[in-house]
Amino acid sequence: MRPFTFTQAQDVDTAVQEVSLEGAKFVAGGTNLLDLMKIDVMSPSHLVDITQIALETIEETEAGGIRLGALAKNADTAYHELVETRYPLLSHAILAGATAQLRNMATDGGNLLQRTRCYYFYDTQTPCNKREPGSGCSAIQGYNRDLAILGTSEHCIATHPSDMCVALAALEATVHVTGKNGERAIPFADFHRLPGDTPHLDSNLQPDEIITSIELPAKGFAKHYTYLKLRDRASYAFALVSVAAALELEGDTIKEARIVLGGVAHKPWRVPEAEALLQGQKATRDNFRKVAEAYLQGAQGFGHNDFKIELAKRAIVRALEQATNR
């Protein structure tokens, strides 16, 4: 680990000023950043501790939704009464990730900003465009079993590792941020980026901005939902494919469907045009298969991860069946 300076910010304005310094990064739970610093994948020269800022509250909003403070811990969020009862999809997704110890440390804002777990991103002896732009992507011709099949580019096939973010995308959350230019709200669908020719940029958050809260709308799909995570072992493993499925049903007819995939792209993967195929349709396996085929149109494997295309289709069908029958 390289030397760095360290300060504690007591409020949002101070945090924004401190992170504007060259080489500065925020640190809260540190469950991802500190690991990356230890192996020299990331080497900030200045850390701004934001854990003293009062951003941990979980509360109802005037619009009937809830607001998650960016510094609320993942565990506190998953077990919060408002989340468990009104947004159980989010609670289940959080509890599917990491370990209890990590969830006790990791923050909601930090979860949005965690980096990919691509092997080559972590291996500083190999080229990686996310770690060193312009150096090349070792994964495309390398061992890519866990990597992306959708939204890839010639520069990167990394995946976003979060479980929580898959559920937040399905719930159409909004991310509230503050920077030198003031406050702004980012729809969750626009928060993360596809790799394109700038794979080192994971999100549309500006360098001087801090996440202050995540807002959930009133609709939580508490009756018909599921979070399905397929992985190599039952715990402490990142998803090969995950599915957040949320349905609004009238009898056995689908009024609204939301489906988001994790483990398959550089960001949570949602296809509203494919979801629309289910609107007004019966909740049947045949209809679920049609939407699964539409979701995986354009999917491309890179050898070791070819199996994920069929796995994702089957996962969508299974998740929709579980959501229907819950």
The DSSP line for 267-317 is S-EE-HHHHGGGTTSB--HHHHHHHHHHHTTT----STTTHHHHHHHHHHH
The pLDDT of residue 235 is above 90: no
- 174 neighbors 215 (Cβ within 8 angstroms): yes
The sheet carrying 182-187 orders its strands as: 58-60, 66-69, 210-216, 174-179, 182-187
- Quote the pTM value: 0.98
Question: Is the pLDDT confidence value at 223 over 90?
Answer: yes
pLDDT in tens, 128-149: 999 999 999 999 999 999 999 9
297 bridge partner residues: none
Distance CA 236, CA 217 (A): 30
The pLDDT value recorded for residue 27 is 98
- Fold classification of 225-325 (topology level): Enolase-like; domain 1 (3.30.390)
**If DSSP codes are grouped into helix, strand and coil, which group holds residue 8?**
strand
| Mean pLDDT, the chain, integer | 98
Indicate the pLDDT class of residue 1, thresholds 50, 70 and 90: confident
Give residue 250's pLDDT.
Answer: 98
